[in-house]
Amino acid sequence: MSEPKKRRSLLGLIFASIGMFGFAFALVPLYDVFCDITGINGKTATTPTETSDRVDTSREVTVEFVAYINPGVRWQFTPQVKQITVHPGETKIIKYDAKNLNKVATIGQAVPSVTPGVAAKYFNKIECFCFNHQPLEGGENAELPLVFYIDPDLPKEIETLTLAYTLFNVAMDNPTVEQHSEVDNVKAL
């Protein structure tokens, strides 16, 4: 192969590598934009909100509650109720039950998502166990409260939405987090 052809091939490979790196780097923001446009991914707010100042008693919305446990996390984690019917703007309280099945203390963190994804911005959490880590001693149980309302501006065509939490072991996922022996973040209503 001649020297100019080798140089062109090398430059082509370099530009292709730079292009692939740039595309991979842009995937996360592109995915977030795609999810925002299409309503996929149902991310909810990560901070508390205030109670609603209005209630729409002319309609009802069914809210379903689901709990998942990340593989390798030895906890039981379930909602106390599977579904409720609410008026948009009406404040409701439900609780999840959690139990650490380990013999040692572990720290859990619940990550929420809402389906359909477009409904996520209308699901408002006033108080949520998902805002904090949940340390539990080995064998310990806890009731984890969720205080929420559905925004009255929820599109009329959405009559049912599902709130799903996935429970992760924070210490397993983040080795810099220490295991605690005290339960100081679990608040009961």
Straight-line distance from the first to the last Cα atom of the chain, in angstroms, rounded to the nearest whole number: 76
Question: Residue 44 carries which side chain, given as an amino acid letter?
Answer: T
pTM to 2 decimals? 0.68
Is the pLDDT assigned to residue 157 strictly greater than 60? Answer: yes
Q: What is the CA radius of gyration of the chain?
A: 22
pLDDT number for residue 185: 36
Kindly report the average pLDDT of the chain as a whole number. Answer: 81
pLDDT category at 38 given cuts 50, 70, 90 is: very low
Residue of 130 and 161 predicted with greater confidence? 161
Q: Residues 56-78: pLDDT tens digits?
A: 999 999 999 999 999 989 999 99
The values of phi and psi at residue 4, to 5°, are -65, -35
CA distance 51 to 91: 7
pLDDT at 28: 63
